[in-house]
Amino acid sequence: MLKIYNTLGKQLEEFKPIHPGKVTIYMCGPTVYGLLHVGNFRGPVFFNLVRNWMEHLGYHVDYALNFTDVDDKIMMKAKETNQAPGEVSEVYIEEYKKDFASLGLRKHDRNPKVTDYMPQIVSFISDLVDKKKAYATTGAEPGLNDVNFSISEFKDYGKLSGRKPEELQSGVRIEVNEKKKNPLDFALWKSAKSGEISWPSPWGPGRPGWHIECSAMIKAMFGDQIDIHAGGLDLMFPHHENEIAQSEACSGGKFSNYWMHWNMIQFGGAKMSKSLGNIVSMRDFLKDHHAEVYKWMMLAPHYRSTADFTDDTIYQAVSGLARVYSSIALAESVFLQVNETDFKMDAKYHAELQVAWTAIETALNDDFGTPAAFAAMFDLIRKFNSQFRRGMKVTPELAGKAFQFFEFIKKFGSFLSLFQEYPTKFLIELDDQLLLKLGHKRTDVDQLVQERAKVREAKDFAKADEYRKKLTEMKINVSDLPTGSFWEVMK
Ligand SMILES: [Zn+2]
């Protein structure tokens, strides 16, 4: 049984789909006018797991993420670069898709663009005007009108964020706008200022406000109601509150059954902002780090906790990954010594793995509790590492056990889109990053290990022990194999 923390109602709830066996998910996507930063991919990485997990539970998942390709910032960028707004957004949709592919995430089922849904958006707004939930006012010029949503016509306003209109009006400074009936009313349609890109509507040429896009695209794709609406915590108010107001005022029924919000990324406790100059694009991060490092950083903490981006948390991710890869590289070194047809599967170990899998299932079914799932995996890794070592005499039983362990880690990783690299090769890459932090060079370690091998060959075991001691101090572990000495950074 899957339980989800529903922001609407602020409690853990059993997941029940609208239609048996089917799940519809909508995530508010990016506004496309530049390269996206590391904060923009927390949701996609986490929901990649949500989708995989729901499919594992037997649901057919229909998952949409939109592109906001109509916006002031896009128009500004178009002006600066002497392009049409559509050209700017197309470029950055493609750039987004490149980052998405670099992260090794599954494609969404749908990527609606606002400009593809103009007739549906206009008809949604007309519907709200007809139902007296929205009203037109004078716009930029005579003959051009804006349309605002009337929040006093929606009695449940504030039910998601817990912010009530009365408190909002007294608590915050609100721009005086005599055209609005209530200062909190928000724009559904903005009349075109001269030279701006526009679309036809009953209120004259203009473009939609941001909030109505999502409501209208969801209705067009999925109907009046969806199972899960997802977004960052920063979108809960006013964006999601306004989506609920529009959609429920229009349909008269419930809009989204579950609201899932992930927490923000922080930089040493500070928010990411232009003024702090700490905005890191995904593209730049991936120049220095492997995609699995980013995914680990997003998935190791719970999605409702903040994820911190510091040198330390990057290092922790590298070292966590190195521990996993070290164990699966070890497993591989064991089972590759025996023909696969000769593996003897261990029933007792199979039962042990079942217990570990149940712990992972329980953790993920409890609001996608990745920290507990990771802990269950590390328990298993610790036990495996205590029973296996490189260079040990391999029997068909041991090979079978190592293979079972390897398959288990790969299976868990497939849900997270982690642990999919070639273990031995990727372990070297991770070790290099750990060495950098320790202040050692791979060539220096190689030399010490070779010198040790030489004195060992000459049977000078006292000297060999001295070398081992020195390497241990450098946090290097050496195994003596028939094929030579193997070393790796201690994890
Ligand atoms: Zn939205």
Task: Set out the domains of the chain in order of their start, with CATH numbers.
Answer: 3-262 (3.40.50.620), 440-491 (no CATH)
* pLDDT computed for residue 177 by the predictor: 61
Q: How many angstroms separate the CA atoms of 411 and 66, rounded?
A: 30
User: What letter would DSSP give residue 236?
Assistant: I
Closest CA to 209 of 292, 133, 122, 141: 122
Question: For the residues 441-451, what does the mean pLDDT come to?
Answer: 96
Mean pLDDT of 255-265: 97
Mean pLDDT for 304-316 is 94
C-alpha of residue 26 to centroid of ligand 1, in Å: 8
- Cα 214 to averaged position of ligand 1 atoms, centre (Å): 5
* CA gap 388, 257 in Å, rounded: 48
Expressed in angstroms and rounded, the spacing between residue 338 Cα and the centre of ligand 1 is 54
Q: What is the dihedral of CA 178, 182, 185, 188, to 10 degrees?
A: -60
Separation of CA 243 and ligand 1 centre (Å): 7
Q: Per-residue pLDDT for 247 more than 80?
A: yes
The DSSP call for residue 366 is B
The percentage of the chain sitting over the pLDDT mark of 90, rounded to a whole number, equals: 89
The reported pLDDT for the residue numbered 58 is 98
**For residue 368, how far is its CA from the centre of ligand 1 (angstroms)?**
22
Q: How far is the CA of 315 from the centre of ligand 1 (A)?
A: 34
**Rounded distance from Cα 239 to ligand 1 centre (Å):** 6
> Could you give the percent of the chain with pLDDT greater than 70?
98
**What's the CA-to-centroid distance between 29 and ligand 1, angstroms?**
7
Mind listing the pLDDT tens digit for each residue in 144-195? 999 999 999 999 999 999 988 877 776 555 565 667 888 889 999 999 988 8
User: Could you report the per-residue pLDDT of 267-303, keeping only the tens digit for each?
Assistant: 887 777 777 777 899 999 999 999 999 999 999 999 9
- Is 3's pLDDT higher than 90? yes
Closest to 413 in 3D by CA, of 334, 346, 360, 491: 360
- Token pair of 68, please? 């906001």
Q: What is the pLDDT of residue 449?
A: 97
Compute the mean pLDDT over every residue in the chain, rounded to the nearest whole number: 94
State the pLDDT at residue 175.
60
**What's the CA-to-centroid distance between 207 and ligand 1, angstroms?**
16
The pLDDT score that the predictor gives to residue 173 is 57
Sort residue 13 into left (φ over 0), alpha (ψ -120 to 50) or beta. Answer: beta
Predicted confidence (pLDDT) at residue 93 exceeds the cutoff of 90: yes
**Is the per-residue pLDDT at 379 higher than 60?**
yes
CA of 337 to the centre of ligand 1 (A): 53
The rounded distance, in Å, linking the Cα atoms of 446 and 449 is: 5
* Ligand 1 mean position, distance from CA 167 (Å): 24
Query: Is residue 68 pLDDT above 60, yes or no?
Result: yes
Nearest Cα to Cα of residue 477 among 403, 407, 427, 411: 427
pLDDT in tens, 351-377: 999 999 999 999 999 999 999 999 999
pLDDT for the residue numbered 179: 79
Q: What pLDDT, in 10s, does the model give residues 23-53? A: 999 999 999 999 999 999 999 999 999 999 9
The Å distance, Cα 212 to ligand 1 centre, comes to: 8
C-alpha 475 to ligand 1 mean position (Å): 49
Give residue 262 CA to ligand 1 midpoint distance, Å: 14
